[in-house]
Amino acid sequence: MSKVWTTQFGERMRAFRSGRAGSGNAEAVSIKIRVTSGCFHREHSPEAYRLIDDSLRAIPGPDRTFDLLEHESGPEVLVYVALATAGITLAKSVIDLVVAILKARSEGVRKGDPPAYALEVIVRKSADEARVDEEIVLRLGHSETVRTEHVEKCLTDAIRKLLRDPAAQTGPANRALQPASRARRKTKARRS
């Protein structure tokens, strides 16, 4: 990972925080949907992006509490996560958007979008000027079924770990529900 990428990520997060006011007890995070190989952007996945655009248009203005950025490797959703005594809360519109992106990729591949490589969902935060913390949430092949409840649970669990929420202590019941590909990384940089 390059220092340049770490700096660029930090700048994206600062711009998001300065452009959108979070509630008193909220943390800005990035939810990256990245193809494991190749590209996943508008020019290479036009069918998927038609569906993503339709999903965005269906979200009412007041519920658009996030920024969606397009990168060559896949979209990135910048969002505030509400922190509360009972844990974290991720807006329903954000969960629905992540699920819509995952489903759109599958449908796009079915309609001819290349390539058909798996997607990874990653949550990240800018720890400081020189470090980005990230948690790989899950990995899905284009033909796997996307279930909203599963995606929501995986996102919530990963964000808890990323933000070091004490409620994130993994007991035996939670361990069985976690994807096998899940990994925690503290890193100095990572490609978008």
pLDDT band at 179 (very low <50, low <70, confident <90, very high): very low
123 is a domain residue:
yes
Instruction: Indicate the DSSP class of residue 91.
Output: -
> Residue 125: which H helix or E strand, with range?
strand 119-128
Per-residue model confidence as pLDDT tens digits over 61-104 = 888 889 999 999 999 999 999 887 677 888 899 999 999 999 99
For 165: left if phi > 0, alpha if psi spans -120 to 50, otherwise beta; the answer is beta
Q: Shortest CA distance to 33 belongs to which of 128, 138, 110, 147?
A: 138
126 is a domain residue:
yes
Instruction: Indicate the DSSP class of residue 129.
Output: T
Task: From residue 150, give the alpha-carbon distance in Å to each of 41, 128, 176.
Answer: 25, 31, 12
192 is a domain residue:
no
CA 58 to chain centre: 19
For the chain, what percent of residues have pLDDT higher than 70? 82
Per-residue model confidence as pLDDT tens digits over 133-172 = 999 999 999 889 999 999 999 999 999 998 874 444 343 3
178 is a domain residue:
yes
Kindly provide the b/e burial profile for residues 121-147, where b requires at least 16 CB atoms within 10 angstroms of the residue's own CB: bbbbbbbeeeebbbbbbbbbebeeebe
98 is a domain residue:
yes
How far apart (Å, rounded) are the C-alpha atoms in residues 98 and 122? 11
pLDDT band at 3 (very low <50, low <70, confident <90, very high): confident
In sequence order, what are the residues at sequence separation of 6 or more whose Cβ sits closer than 8 angstroms to the Cβ of residue 125?
13, 27, 28, 29, 30, 132, 133, 134, 162, 163
Write down the mean pLDDT value for the chain.
83
pLDDT at 186 over 80: no
Task: State the pLDDT at residue 116.
Answer: 79
Tell me whether the omega of the peptide bond preceding residue 115 falls within 30 degrees of 0, making it cis.
Answer: yes
Instruction: Show the domain range for 87.
Output: 3-187
153 is a domain residue:
yes
170 is a domain residue:
yes
Please state the domain count of the chain: 1
